[in-house]
Amino acid sequence: MEFKEKLFLFLSGIFLTSLVLGNVIGTTKFVNVFGLTVPAGVLAYPFTFLATDLICELYGKKRAQTLVWIGFFMNFFMLGLMTLGHYLQDAQGISGATSTFDSVYTFMVGNVIASMIAYLIAQSIDVRMFHFWKRLTKGKHLWLRNNGSTIVSQFVDTSTVLLLLCFAGAIEWNRFWSLLENGFLFKVIVALVDTPVIYGVIYILKGKIDIAPYDKKGFAYEG
C-alpha cells in the first residue's frame, strides 16, 4: 500500500474515532478549557475538522465528503450496538456497572441524534467552504480556507446541536447562550491553533505525496 493511502487511513481513523468518542461522552461532563466551560465531548470534535481539512487539501473534495457520510452512518451503527446491549437481559451477578451503562445510553441517544444532524450539516458546509475559498484564492492562502471553513461550520454545528437538545428538553433554555458562546469560542481557538499544524503537515509531506491541486472549477483532483 502506498504511503498516501496509509496516511488517508490514518486521518480517517482519527476522524472516526474522534467523532464516535465525542458522541459517547457528549454532555455527560463539563470541563474548563481556556477559561471556557464546554462539554467534555467537544474536546474530540476539533480533530474531526482538522482531519477533514487535511483530507480536503491532500485528497480532494470527493473523498472528504465520502468520509463525512461514513462517519454519519458509523455513529448510528455505534448507537445500534449500544441499543442492543441496553435491551439484552443483564447477566445477574456478573455485570459490574449496569446502571452506569444504562445511564450513559439513555443520555447518549438524544445527544447522538441531535449531534449527527448538526454534524452532517456542519461537515458538509466545512468541505464545501474549504473548496470555495480554495477556488476563490486560486489555491493560495491555506490559512484562510482552513480557518474560514472551520469557524463557520463550527458555529453551525454548535448552534444546531444546542437548539435540538434544548427543544428535546435535554438542556435548559437558560443555558443556551452561555453554552453557545463557550463552545463556539473554544472551537475558534482550536481552529487558530491547528492552522500551524496543517501547514507543518503539508510542508513535511511535500515531495512525498501528490497534493490535490486547485482547478478552475474549484474541485480538487481526486487522485
The string of pLDDT tens digits covering residues 102-124 is: 888 887 787 788 878 887 887 78
Domains of the chain and CATH, by start:
3-205 (1.10.1760)
Identify the pLDDT of residue 212. Answer: 62
Q: Could you say which DSSP state residue 95 is in?
A: -
Could you tell me if 42 and 157 are in contact, meaning their C-beta atoms sit under 8 angstroms apart?
A: no
Give 86-93's long-range contacts (Cβ < 8 A, gap of 24+): none
Q: Which residue has the cell 474548563?
A: 32
Segment 141-159 mean pLDDT? 79
Identify the pLDDT of residue 218. Answer: 44
Q: What is the pLDDT of residues 26-68, one digit of tens each?
A: 767 888 888 888 888 888 877 887 888 888 888 887 888 899 8
- Grid cell digits, residue 41: 465531548
Identify residue 48 by its one-letter amino acid code: T
Identify the pLDDT of residue 211. Answer: 66
- Can you list the alpha helix ranges (DSSP code H) found in 88-168? 98-136, 142-168
Segment 185-203 mean pLDDT? 84
Torsion region of 131: left, alpha or beta (phi above 0 gives left; psi -120 to 50 gives alpha):
alpha
Identify the pLDDT of residue 200. Answer: 87
Identify residue 24 by its one-letter amino acid code: V
Distance CA 161, CA 121 (A): 10
CA proximity to 52, closest of 106, 123, 151, 129: 123
Phi first, then psi, for residue 38 (nearest 5°) are -135, 155
Give the number of residues written for the chain. Answer: 223
3-state SS of the chain: helix, strand, coil percent to 5?
A: 75, 5, 20
CB-side exposure of 113: number of CA atoms within 13 Å? 11
- Grid cell digits, residue 122: 456542519
- Grid cell digits, residue 82: 449500544
